[in-house]
Structure 1
């Protein structure tokens, strides 16, 4: 699969809470889920085809406060659509690396970077067991969606914060968000696809991981 699949099954549209940016987004999530599965192989769900609340909040925060990433090396962990990575690049980051385990996600990030006329780097695979020491800033939107994922991603983020990286998390109050050891930076009312979230608006926060907490 490639950027052709992304473009064929989505449409380019402004991001609801970050209208300065555009994304290839799916209109019908269930239909796309089925098409992705039918394309063959064990494909992850198409998280890349939607502007999730945590990502929108992080993107908004970066564009409003570009000094957070300006001139710095940034990693967007579990990039999904690449929305946060694109926002970091637009905000003036020195380099931005989009990471995901899903190659189709990276294809979407590439298509979205091209649509927004920014340059990204791409790393496919699971970085959580190791690290990414070259990043000055690590961004993570909507990563606390399951107990298993939270248990793996939190140590990674804390290690990065402990070595001095700025670590920012965007989250709409998912059940497994560990707010202990995090610093609240901002709160937004974010429009979301009601077909996915069951509500039209999610109150979403941006948190900073405290490098001194364990």
Structure 2
């Protein structure tokens, strides 16, 4: 099981590295900027998760993650050089897939190391959103997690599904697939139909007392 979990983790890193590279292309960064943005997007959330769990940071222990980041960035750059326009939809799609990957991996790792279900859901959400948040702050963009369309909420829903599947003793791989699918589906639907959780009425003026 450890082997295929490692490959899933690598896949999540690769997808988020692609999202970081796409954003670097959008911002016209140089080669160094591309690598930095791809790396922080790919490992930011997992780094925060491991620090909270008081574990060795995963990419410090295994340099293969950086090989994957560099490879994913290079492939994306080669592909982008053949395009005439910036494929913004691919950035959002890659980000959504990376979000779903890291959400379930964060939940899974938190549970393995003794976290409660509630904490596991929180750490899964942090793992999913933190890398993208750092990327957007560096690029002076409003982080996707702070925008109206469901983002962190998708992670919470996927995490709840994953925890419920674990509670009913369903195979771990199926639990992860269910959590991944719910997270991705909610995020993609939110992007397409602009789902959100409005708190304040934007038409209400703020009144001074």
Identify, as 1 or 2, the structure richer in strand.
1
Identify, as 1 or 2, the structure richer in helix.
2
Q: Which has the larger radius of gyration?
A: 2
Provide the TM-score with structure 2 as the length reference: 0.33
